[in-house]
Amino acid sequence: MDVVLSVDPGRFAETIRAAQAAGLTVTSEQPLIGTAAGTVAEDRIPLLRAVDGVEAVERDRTIRLPPPESPVQ
């Protein structure tokens, strides 16, 4: 499952290490704004939420918009 984590920017490195120990495979990091993206097994999400310094865990979603020239429905 693809997820996006919001973490405390002041403890970014240690929080990401703890999230990895809880099962997160990091695919991108944005330490200045306190976010990281990655993959994790669905059953490990509660463990990620419990990591000290993790403020939120959200499932990554893709939103598709119709082309600008398509009719309004």
Does residue 68 register a pLDDT over 90? no
The tokens 């669905």 sit on which residue? 42
**Global pTM?**
0.80
User: Are β-strands 25-30 and 54-59 bridged in parallel, bridged antiparallel, or unpaired?
Assistant: unpaired
Query: Mind listing the pLDDT tens digit for each residue in 3-32?
Result: 999 999 999 999 999 999 999 999 999 999
Across residues 54-65, what is the average pLDDT?
Answer: 87
For residue 37, give the nearest of 70, 73, 4 by alpha carbon.
4
